[in-house]
Structure 1
Amino acid sequence: MCGTVGMFVGCSALSYCPRRLLRGPDGTADAEEGQDGEEETADEPEYRSPFRNWYERSSVRSAPRRMLDDDGERGLRLFPPDLVPVTRHPLVRALPEELFQEVLVQHLYRYLDFTAKLEYLVVNRTVLGIAHGSVGVVVPEAMRLDAYKMYCDEAYHALFSADLAVQVRQATGIRPRLPDRPFFLRRLEEILDELPTADRPLAELLFVIVSETLISASLADVPQRHEVAPAVTGTIRDHAMDEGRHHAYFAHFLQRLWASLGPAERCVAGRLVPRLMDAFLRPDLDALRAELAGYGLSKDDVEQIVAEVYTPEVLADHSRATSQQTRRYFRDLGAFDDPVAQSELAAYGLLD
């Protein structure tokens, strides 16, 4: 997945599964039967590659560079307000127009920064390990070749995110207000630091599976927005098309990973997954507070906005809705049969 769902808590867009992008007009999956490589044994899940036509359809191979056009895109939004939760609050709506526009621009910066750093700091480490055969999970040759393709995808996502951020800064004169390290990365590091050394590689694998399969509840509608600059919607569309393939890949990879784990490792995994989901989904409210204060809002106003937009109910509802498909993948494998795993789901608001 794009790795940004936590910042869209409470958005009005419909839930969206990137795997739908893989389906053709007849509703069948855009996947090909086996490829040359290692033979599958009877007890292994069959691998149906979601990377059919990758050379023709992936964004790195086929999409143009997305450019902001000062003339053609003047007056268009750089992000739709209804997908930026704080813009629904009256105190934010009352900001002068130039500050309201900056709220949208800063949200775009967060999306682009989150995407780039997720891809090159986290996801591609694991993807390279799969391609290299060093993650401890046996996969057929077709999956290793597809991992190379995914590595190219993710590197390009980081590039086009950084490229668009530079264009936005040059076009608007607005500098990004971003923490040095995204919230998800700080939380992941905290989780890894608390784990025994032997469990950390498994936790990283699980985090990548979680991040690549979570359902975005926000971005599906963005490419259809005529009031948003085409460079932005085109970038998001390119990203979403690629991530649909990645979602399908990691849903299958999870089955192979699970088959390779012993009972104790499965127990660790089932207990970790809820926390990893929460680390990925929960918005960075401290960074949001700092940003809102930068618009001249008082501390009391900032606290009121955060408290009224990000209520515990909204956070829990969003997490459950967004993680529904990913939780189903793990539940179908029995990952949450352990009572402690159930308690972890409850602790993070992930029980239906």
Structure 2
Amino acid sequence: MNASDYQSFAETWENRATIRTRPRRMVEDDQRLIYPLSRQPLVLTASFLRECPQLRDLALVHSLYKFINDVVIFETEIVDRTARRIAKDRFAIRFPFACRYDAMTVVVDEDYHALVAMDFMQQTIALTGIEPISLPAEIELSRAIPAALALAPAHLRDALELICVGIAENTLTDDVAAFARDDTVKPSVKGLMADHLLDEGRHSMFWARLTRIYWQSAAEQDRRCIAEILPVFLEQYLTNEIQKAFDFTLIDHLPVAPSVRQALRVEVLAMAYPINHQHPLLGNILRFLRSSSMLDSPCVQRALAHYLPEPRRDS
């Protein structure tokens, strides 16, 4: 794709963007879950089910708060920063006006998502009376993107930032989709995630298209340089260190005996996914790399060999 071939989604945004079309989501006072069990494995551990199953909803409320906190950081500190610079033509890669207009709609959407998430947190606090515990000041991307950019020459930092944000936005889309499909949670939570997904599907295509425009015009030497840095980014992005630290903080706030806390910590430590082709987010990441044409490049294939699925052997 060349920059001149880019087609704006301005009309789609006007007709379908959640800030244009969706009502305020009000949290229900019902018996459904406020957060999916599948997204907080702590409450499904043997120790939790045996020792403190009555604390499930408390743990899920705190997990919702962390998710909302993560969304606000991601939308306002990560995506907003990159999209805003593109929209204002302050990016090293020059994009045509149609791209920059769409980038500004991304800024509007993402800040609105953060506002909606904060509103939902306030509603949940009012409904449950549960105040948030200490929430992380950063997400994995807060570390992964700077770590990657520190390895890049100055002229490639914006290009690498574009790719990192594109990977993250495409990963988030599937993450939110899983949320929206879960019938065990409150309708307001499902609606909140479905609204978010409607915008994120558009965003994921936007970042893939911009990355494709850049990648197809990039010099081979620049492609190789970026490819060599990608594993550093993925290693930091796919870690569960921040989630593990939050789970430990949550465990410390549970009204249980010290021996139960220790048992829960042991089970949390066993939850990490290997950072290789078996990681559950890798499928989404590889789809982005294919749709942006990056995975067509031998240098990317070589750099990410550790993350690519093992070839099937015919029996």
TM-score, reference length from structure 2: 0.84
Find out whether 1:243 has 2:200 as its counterpart.
yes
Write the letter of the residue equivalent to 1:63: R
Aligned to 2:313: none
The code of the aligned residue for 1:160 comes to V
Q: Is the 8 A contact 1:68 1:167 kept in 2?
A: yes
Q: CA deviation at 1:281?
A: 3.3
Tell me, which stretches of 5 or more residues in structure 2 are unaligned? 311-315
Contact 1:45 1:256 in 2 (8 A): no
Q: Which structure has more RCO (C-alpha within 8 Å, separation ≥ 6)? A: 1
Q: 1:69-148 to 2 correspondence within 5 Å?
A: 69=28, 73-148=29-104
State the match for 2:23 in structure 1: 64
SS of the residue aligned with 1:317?
Answer: coil
| Richer in helix (by share) | 2
CA positional deviation for 1:247? 0.7
8 Å CA contact 1:49, 1:249 repeated in 2:
no
Deviations 1:60-89 (A, max 9, x none): 1111111124xxx32221012133233331
Q: In the superposition, relative to structure 1, how do residues 292 and 194 fare at CA in structure 2: closer, same or farther (>3 Å)?
A: farther
Do the aligned partners of 2:42 and 2:264 also contact (CA within 8 Å) in 1? no
> Residue 327 of structure 1: CA displacement?
3.2
CA separation in 2, counterparts of 1:234 and 1:49?
A: 27
Q: Deviations over 1:97-122 (max 9, x none)?
A: 45211221122112211111111111
Note the C-alpha offset of 1:180.
Answer: 2.2
Alignment of 1:274 with 2:231, yes or no, is yes
Contact 1:129 1:135 in 2 (8 A): yes
Cα offset for 1:224? 4.1
Partner of 1:5: none
Give the letter aligned to residue 180 of structure 1: A
Contact 1:222 1:236 in 2 (8 A): yes
How big is each residue's C-alpha offset from its partner over 1:105-161, in whole Å with a ceiling of 9 and x where there is no partner? 122112211111111111111111111122122323222211121111011011111
Correspondence for 1:211: 168
* Closer, same or farther: CA 175–187 of 1 in aligned 2, 3 Å: farther
Q: Deviations over 1:299-333 (max 9, x none)?
A: 64134312433353899331333323123235x33
Matches within 5 A, 1:11-30: none
SS across alignment from 2:27: coil
Question: For 1:120 and 1:286, how far apart are their aligned partners in 2?
Answer: 23
Match of 1:333 in 2: 294
Deviations 1:255-276 (CA, angstroms, capped at 9, x unpaired): 1121343233212211223332
- 3-state SS of 1:113 partner: helix
1:294 and 2:253 correspond: yes
Q: 1:259 aligns with which of 213, 216, 219?
A: 216
Q: How many residues align?
A: 304
From the superposition, tell whether residues 226 and 210 of structure 1 become closer, same or farther in structure 2 (CA, over 3 Å): closer
Alignment partners' CA distance in 1, 2:114 and 2:172: 20
**2:190 alignment partner in structure 1:** 233
> Aligned with 1:250: secondary structure?
helix
